[in-house]
Amino acid sequence: AVTRTFSIIKPDATRRNLTGAVTKMLEDAGLRVVASKRIHMTKEQAEGFYAVHKERPFFGELCEFMTSGPVVVQVLEGEDAVKRNRDIMGATNPADAAEGTIRKTFAEGIEANSVHGSDSDENAAIEIAYFFKPEEIVG
């Protein structure tokens, strides 16, 4: 089925001017950008977005990294969008990511791993609503 997922192009990627290169890999993987905006997340936004990780040892650093520069938040649409996006992103740790994936190609490390993608349809809906109003999504 055609579904939607939520993606973030992270500060390590925007800093290296890779917004277009990352988006091209998403598009080449069969995903369509149906919403997109460049924002500089506040600490509150980052902490809210990553609330599921708040007990993790890397939570503070992660929120600091995600607010260290601009990000591009996107809604992606395609056949099985969550899985399709996860496949093209590759493993969280670029050392474990397969050849040809975004993280293998571009990520600097496990934290500065260039992209975020939702891990389920349920979380995709929550994450999309966290950053986008319905009228900002144009399918």
Residue 59 labeled ligand binder: no
Q: How far is the CB of 133 from ligand CMP (least distance, A)?
A: 22
Is 103 assigned a ligand-binding role in the annotation?
yes
9 closest CA partner among 71, 87, 66, 76: 71
User: Is 84 a known ligand-binding residue?
Assistant: no
Q: Between 111 and 121, name the residue whose CB sits nearer to ligand CMP.
A: 111
DSSP 50: T
Q: Is 116 a catalytic residue?
A: yes
Token readout for 65 is 């990294």
Question: Annotated binding residue at 131?
Answer: no
Identity of the residue numbered 90: G
List residues binding ligand CMP (CB under 6 A). 53, 58, 62, 92, 110-111, 113, 116
Buried b (16+ CB within 10 A) or exposed e, 41-50: beeebbbebb
Given the structure tokens 């994936």, which residue do they identify?
101
**89 or 139, CB closer to ligand CMP?**
89
Q: Among the options 116, 124, 128, 132, which is catalytic?
A: 116
* Minimum CB distance to ligand CMP smaller for 9 or for 35: 9
Residue among 135, 7, 11, 3 nearest 69 (CA): 11
Angle CA(38)–CA(107)–CA(53) in degrees, nearest 5? 75
Could you list the residues known to form a binding site for ATP, using ranges: 10, 58, 86, 92, 103, 113
Residues of the binding site: 10, 58, 86, 92, 103, 113
Residues assigned a catalytic role: 116
